[in-house]
Structure 1
Amino acid sequence: MLLSALAAAGLLAACGKSGDGPGAAGGPPAMPPPQVSVVTVQAKDAPLTFEYTGQTAGSRETEVRARVGGILQRRLFEEGATVKAGAALFQIDPANLQTTVASTEAAIGVAEARYNQAKRDNARLVPLIAEKAISQKEFDDSKSALETAEATLRQVRAQAAEAKLNLGYTRVVAPIGGVTGVAAKADGSLVNSTDMLTTIVQVNPIYVNFSVSEGDMLKLNKQIAAGQVAVPGGKSANGSAGFAVSVKLADGSTWPKQGKLNFTSEKLNPTTGSYDARAEIPNPDGALRPGQFVRVVLGGASRTQSITVPQRAILDGPMGKMVFKVSPDNKLLPQPVEVEGWSNGEWIVTKGLKSGERVMADGVIKAHDPGMTVTPVPFVAGGAAPAGGPPGAAPAKAGEGKGAAEPGKAASNTAQAPSATKQ
């Protein structure tokens, strides 16, 4: 037993000697500074887009109406089908109007006979009046009868032309090309002139109507005047037709065809308190239908000399939006910022940062205390957060980082952001 006790004492003494240095007191070894992704911000011209809610409408919409009354004999088109301008849509019974045309043609014959008789009578009196063989009154009456017969003939001919025109209206044709609606009258119905029979909507190109609030328009015009924002095609937002227009559909997809602005109102709409605008979008296959709600995206503008940071760099602190700057000695410094809008999935910072400053873009879960020392590594857009191991450790695979937001979505980083005054 004595020998065993002496051996244990010797072993403890040996361990005490070899444990000199870090962790000699029995605590764990010191951890290296965590790796965080860092981006160096630079002022540059950043693309700027504007997005509004819009609704599609036909570029041309018309109501097809009857121009003469009668019995609707048959419908000559398929409801909802695409028709060309001039295509026959309905046939109204032409029997009554055919009778009218025949009657007016007979009236033309009678009028022509009377005109010819008056003309012959007047011709016989011309030499007699020269020889003063008849009175002047008799000659004047003959001349008046000729003029009356001529006027009656013109009147009858006009009535005949009108009758033929109305007969042609019994075949109702499409005034424009487009997609037909539902027939408002069934076969065999009695229709009156001006009764609506169907509608036609032209969907290629298709219009998208939207509006811009008065506040947004005033703010944008001030930024343009100050040189902070440049818009294509003009010095102000009003009437700028140079914007490239794209459309986002209800399922989140983007319509493959880009359009253009073809109307911007100079007058404020008193009902909505906004400016009305309209875009024209190519729709060759007719997949876009009138009445759809879409998102209208106006591109082509830019914010001059702006500073942008990745969306994960923006934190929600007690005093609002903030970022962590990384000092030259790799210490975290909280910095309140003001942001406005997006540019290619990045926040546009309008106040709080300067060119050349370093900002922590990712890694707030591991490093969130002001004054904390970190190991900065370059930020890779679309990559994952850096691994938490020592410097030189293999980086995490893309998509494995925690807290990664989808590009383009306005989701703020809500990790445990400290107060700017925390020590």
Structure 2
Amino acid sequence: MNRSFERDLLLSRAVTRGRRARWWLPLAAAVLLLGGCKKPPAEAQRPPVDVTIVTVEQKATPVDFDFTAQTESSRAVEIRARVEGFLDKRMYTEGSLVKPGQTMFIMDRKPFEAALQTAKGELAQQQARLTVTKANLARVVPLAAQNALSKKDLDDAVGNEKEAEAAVIAAKGQVQTAELNLSYTIIKSPLLGLSSFARQQEGSYVTPTQGGLLTYVYQLDPMWVNFSISENELLRYREQIAKGQLRFPPENKFDVTVIQADGSTYPEQGRIDFTNPAFSSETGTFLVRAVFANPQGTLRPGQFVRARVSGAVRPNAILVPQRAVLQGSKSHFVWVIDNESKPRQRVVEVGDWHGDDWFITQGLRTGERVIVDGAIRVTADSQVKVVGTATPGPPTDGAAEKPAASAPASAAGASLLPHERLHEGLHEGLHDAPHALQLAQQRADDGAGNHAERRAGSSADRRAGNTVADSVIR
């Protein structure tokens, strides 16, 4: 009896709880739904972007043209064997500076000394013959005058004398040839210059036609510097001259400077002394040669250098720092501050570099204010604050170029999701590559933390709501 009463009482309480749960459950859900519909905090207005500017002005600007160039000896001489024979000795140190008349090689002289003696013997023989013919003629002439001898005898005597004279001349020529060949066995440098390595070794048999090249000697002072100008470059210069955008010096007397491989400037100034009138059919370029004094032998043949050609001027040129010019998807552009102090994007056409600046050929007018430092952080709806005037060169240390991560985070920035903050950090840090990743990562970490807090708060709210619902149900 008692057990049956207790079971009925428990069943009645369970039914009552179920009815209460059906009553309170919709009410609890409505309360939670209303609590989750709170409006997010309004985003704070972004602070103005600190920028520096440059005021556009036109002025005549000297311009330099840089070309890849190579040095060449102004006189490169092949040292060759002029007679055939065995190479006896090398008399110079390879790679050393040799003087005019310095002996470099000696060939075997014995055969040439013997040939000289033979030629001298032949000369003596012909001279003796000439003496006999002259004496014979001296005897024949008076006898012929007395008609003691025939006319033929006189003619024979005269002919023999002339033949002997010719033989003596030929013999003298043979002696000179033998002496010359003997002198050729001593091979000397014809100039002051730098010697190359020996192409033939001692004991080699050389002839003027085969194996006759023994070495080279390169004159170092003066030195030539050769560079090439392409057809496209030449046409571009001509077009700019026709438009009045470029002016060459009178009589095209350019100054040329050599920049060496380590970036140092060669102290001597050069001048252009030759321009090839024809283009190369292989490269489509034409050769230009500049000559430089090289008294210390600093420049060596075959060096790759940069030739900087100076003397041209761009009249009425507009220059802006390179960091002010941004690259869009199809064109270059700059930010110009209008009369209402708002940034406006302006498409420009750029020319050549000039140090740390761009030549602007179209798109800007005198007096306009162009944003330089801070341009990468400017958008069309940005507020800007001019903090200074930019100068050519790398970005200044002012606030305009400091990473945005170093400034206090704004409420708007704090409300961004991690991937949105990462994108914004990369956008603002793109101009300053060394800080870009640090900036982007910091923004992503900050955003991740804020997002995690929001997620944690939402989870806590859900857990609290579940607890209330459970308590209501119970």
TM-score bracket, shorter-length normalisation: 0.7 to 0.9
In the TM superposition, what is the alpha-carbon distance from 1:189 to its structure 2 partner? 2.3
Q: Please state whether the residue corresponding to 2:228 is helix, strand or coil.
A: strand
Which of 193, 216, 219 matches 2:236? 219
Shift of 1:334: 0.9
The structure with more strand, counted as a fraction of residues? 1
Question: What is the letter of the counterpart of residue 224 of structure 2?
Answer: Y
C-alpha contact (below 8 Å) 1:41/1:309 kept by paired residues: yes
Q: Which residue of 1 aligns with 2:399?
A: 387
Residue aligning to 1:110 = 125
Match of 2:50 among 26, 32, 35: 35
Alignment of 1:161-310 (within 5 A): 161-194=176-209, 195-234=212-251, 240=252, 242-310=253-321
Aligned pairs for 1:333-372 within 5 A: 333-370=344-381, 372=383
When residues 193 and 175 of structure 1 are mapped into structure 2, their CA distance, relative to the original with a 3 A threshold, is same
Q: Distance in 2 between matches of 1:233 and 1:143?
A: 73
Offset of residue 364 of structure 1: 1.8
Confirm whether residue 59 of structure 1 aligns to residue 74 of structure 2.
yes
CA distance in 1, matches of 2:244, 2:151: 90
Judged with a 3 Å threshold, the aligned counterparts in structure 2 of structure 1 residues 63 and 286 are, in CA distance, closer, same or farther, namely same
SS in 2 for 1:307: strand
Letter in 2 for 1:291: G
Equivalent in the alignment of 2:64: 49
C-alpha distance in 2 between matches for 1:378 and 1:297: 31
Q: Which runs of 5+ in 2 are unaligned?
A: 1-40, 402-428, 434-474
Q: Distance in 1 between matches of 2:388 and 2:372?
A: 10
Give how far 1:385 is off.
Answer: 5.2
Q: TM-score, normalised by structure 1?
A: 0.79
**How far is the alpha carbon of 1:141 from its aligned partner?**
0.9
* CA-CA distance at 1:284 after TM superposition: 3.1
| Identical-residue share of aligned pairs (%) | 38
CA distance in 2, matches of 1:112, 1:49: 74
Q: 1:228-256: per-residue Cα shift (whole Å, max 9, x none)?
A: 2111243xxxxx3x222222333333333
**CA shift in 2, pair 1:189/1:375, >3 Å:** closer
Residue 125 of structure 1, aligned match among 124, 135, 140:
140
Aligned twin of 1:93: 108
Question: Cα offset for 1:304?
Answer: 1.4
**Distance in 2 separating the partners of 1:232 and 1:300:** 6
| 1:215 CA displacement | 1.3
With over 3 angstroms needed to count, the CA separation of the structure-2 counterparts of 1:108 and 1:213, relative to structure 1, is same
How much does 1:101 deviate?
1.2
Aligned AA (1:60):
R
Aligned equivalents of 1:51 and 1:348: distance in 2? Answer: 16
Does the aligned pair in 1 maintain the 2:319–2:360 contact within 8 Å? yes
Matched-pair contact (CA < 8 Å) for 1:326–1:333:
yes
Structure-1 separation of matches of 2:135 and 2:78: 53
Deviation at 1:206, TM superposition (A): 2.4
Letter in 1 for 2:351: E
Stretch of structure 1 that moved more, 287-296 or 333-342: 287-296
- Equivalent residues of 1:207, 1:281 under 8 A apart: yes
Give secondary structure in 2 for the equivalent of 1:121. helix
Deviates most, 47-56 or 306-315:
47-56
Could you tell me how far 1:297 is from its partner in structure 2?
A: 1.9
Give the Å deviation of 1:330.
Answer: 1.9
Q: Which runs of 5+ in 1 are unaligned?
A: 1-25, 235-239, 390-400, 406-423
Q: Distance in 2 between matches of 1:344 and 1:153?
A: 77
Under a length normalisation based on structure 2, what TM-score does the superposition of the two structures give?
0.71
- Which whole-Å deviations, capped at 9, do the CAs of 1:375-410 have from their partners, x for residues lacking one? 352223446153259xxxxxxxxxxx99479xxxxx
